[in-house]
Chains A and B, each alone.
Chain A
Amino acid sequence: MTLARTLRQALTIARRDFTATVFTPIFLLFLFAPLIMGSFGAIGGMGAASVADARADKARIVAIVPPPAMRAFKESDGRLRAVFRRDEEQPPALVTVAPDGRGLDQARSLFAAKDYEASAVLAGPLDAPHVLYGPRGKRAADYLGVLAGDALAAAKLGGSLPRVAVVKLPVARAGGGAGASGYRQSASFAVFGVFLLNLFLASQVVGTMAEERNNKVIEVLAAAVPLESVFLGKLLGMFGVAILFVGFWATIVAKLGSVLPPDVAGALALQTAVGLPTFGLLFFTYFTMAYLLLGSAFLVVGALASSPREIQMLSLPISIVQMAMLGLALGGTAHPEGAMGWAARLFPLSSPFAMAGRAATEAALWPHVAAIAWQLLWVSLFITFGARLFRRGVLQSGSAKPRWFGRKPAAEPLT
């Protein structure tokens, strides 16, 4: 049996599976699932943000200081706030209150104020102030301490701190890259990206053989084509569905990226050791390999399940396996030359994730060629082994030797 014939048979099955999956209303639901998920996430996020904003609007830090020190506090607060770029990092707004002579009792009473919620209250002399703080107010207390220090320094310097004229000069690293930290960030993105796509897509393969078994089509297929072709065809069919899904969303993301402001797009750009085009190619290749590896393993496991209930039960262990592979690959990315790094790259199911990460941190290309060959070998082993298990377990057959590549000569005729 020639490889061409095996592929032709596999593609026939792949075509059937692809069209049977794509030309259904359910597929639209599947295709737009990220949008639905994102919409619900956005609605939930907006709700949570509005609650957080309402709380933040009322939160205050309070400094009980004599009027001469109030100006220094406000100046220092204004200067330090510029350091915090994001709103959620900013300390609560500052309120200054003149002391009424009750000391810490005044400070405690301010926690019961009705027009704001005090996170932390500073009272006492500037060289030895007391700062009272409520739940989640420790950071605000630290901030008030820094303001007190600034105000004390300003007082000693005649009312205000000296101004420093800073000249900022951006420096590019040698090689134009972002250095090790930027590569590691891209590596984590690659590992997580391949994981996330496969989490959504590869697990779809697990139940695909159930259709043939439920509809008794499996005997028609088994009589016409080798089970290896059936398994490969089903894998390729669902991979086609995955490619359609990824292509659709990649196009949308690319379009959105093109309308982003240049500085935002620049901040989001990945820094990779192999260069962005090669990295993109390798990312897609490892997504493919991860899909084929995990998909073939899940396909085999699902094909051996005897009922839809068993297939449903498999979803949890499948998710656990994928999480484990993510953990192994991320660990390997953090320690690329350690035992975990090697294990992640060599273990077949984690290899695509780990190598996707490596594409971001290492410029050499030959390890990728070796890794892809290694992973393809395991895909063929999974399919061959799975077909044998299926033949023995489900078809209750003996062991037919799979012949993918060669034609066996005709037998001597029986008489």
Chain B
Amino acid sequence: MNGNDLAVSAQGLVKRYGERRVVDGVDLAVPRGAIYGVLGPNGAGKTTTLRTLLGIIEPDEGRRAVFGHDAPRDVSDRIGYLPEERGLYPAMKAREAIAFMGALRGLDWKTGRARAEQMMEAAGLGHATEQKIRKLSKGMAQLVQLLGSVVHRPDLLVLDEPFSGLDPVNQEKLEALILAERDRGATILFSTHIMAHAERICDRLAIIAGGRRRFEGTVDDARATLPQQVRYTPAHAGTDLAALLPAGATTDGRAWRFEMPAGGIEPLLVTLIERGHGIAGLSIERPGLHDAFVRIVGESAAGDVTHAEPAGTFA
């Protein structure tokens, strides 16, 4: 991929806190216009990676670029950011808070206020435009901050654990907003450890564990790291059935589960029918991203010690 096609790129990013390498040589390439997920368990280094990419903190080693600029703040007006630790001024009115966040990114206050009203109306928060942040519920305040991060219509939207703390209804709203931003042409880079969201909306993803990138590709690529699962229910279970099935097959009542054989399912089915076991039920299941994530992270955890990431507070 050409460098100009990338919204965000990083090579060999390293960030140390004392002796700990919280980010340990991470490479990333986020294509323009994509929804890119950074997945990882707690303490994997996701937040530090995002902060480093945004220029909030400087890497100890490696290079990073946003829209081709190695100083991300040079293009900060083109970036929207929702940090993991949500932060708003409690005494500010919701509309002003959104306009303020836009003004920080170069949007004039008048336009910011007008857009804030439109966006809050669209998000079902029209009644709260004049309410102070301290009067809003946690979920509403989180949505206000999210709207503040997109009010200036950024080309790159970086969301750190955006779904945490939201109820299912608001999670749906957030997914819709992310998709709408992508449709508008923005690149979305977000971190999460909740696989369902990533599986639904990510074009590409990276899995980070122990400060290192363990996987990079599409959701299908991730799933493909695990073999497909076959669920077979015989019509007539005979005593030799277990011997005919691949090693590692397990029973679940009358049904059996086993990994797709290397040569495909057809030869096995022929054998089972010839031996008189028949087929009462058969389904082939693709492993989910969750399974792939657990396996990738599990393998990495076995290989090294996970470094705990700082709690992420600047206070």
Contacts and interface: CB of A to CB of B under 8 A. Distances in A.
Interface of A: 1, 5, 8-9, 12-13, 16, 20, 24, 211-226, 391, 394-400, 403, 407-408, 410-415
Given A8-B106, A217-B89, A413-B6, A223 B83 contact: yes
B314 A394 contact: yes
Q: Is the interface of A mostly helix, strand, loop or mixed?
A: loop
Contact of A411 (B57, B70, B145, B310): B70
A395 B57 contact: yes
B165 to A, nearest CB: 13
B103 interface: yes
Nearest to B10: A414
14 contacts: A1-B73, A1-B74, A20-B92, A211-B89, A217-B88, A219-B56, A219-B87, A223-B56, A223-B83, A395-B56, A397-B58, A398-B57, A410-B70, A413-B4
Nearest to A212: B87
Contacts of A9: 104
Q: Top 4 nearest A-B pairs by Cβ distance?
A: A413-B3, A216-B87, A398-B58, A411-B70
Contacts of A224: 76, 81, 101, 104-105
A413 B68 CA distance: 5
Contacts, number: 127
Contacts of B85: 216, 219
B56 A397 contact: yes
B59 interface: yes
Given A20-B89, A220-B81, A412-B3, 5 more contacts: A216-B315, A218-B87, A223-B76, A223-B83, A226-B73
Nearest to A407: B74
B104 A221 contact: yes
A414 B83 contact: no
A12 B100 contact: yes
A396 B56 contact: no
A399 B81 CA distance: 22
Interface string B105-140: 110000000000000000000000000000000000
Interface in B286-315: 310, 313-315
B216 to A, nearest CB: 14
B53 to A, nearest CB: 10
A174 to B, nearest CB: 58
B179 interface: no
A390 B71 CA distance: 19
Most buried by A among B1, B3, B17: B3
Nearest to B60: A398
B39 interface: no
Nearest to B50: A223
Contact of A415 (B1, B58, B59, B104): B1
A213 B91 CA distance: 15
A16 B89 contact: yes
A414 B74 contact: no
B315 A415 contact: no
Contacts of B86: 216
A309 to B, nearest CB: 14
A396 B310 contact: yes
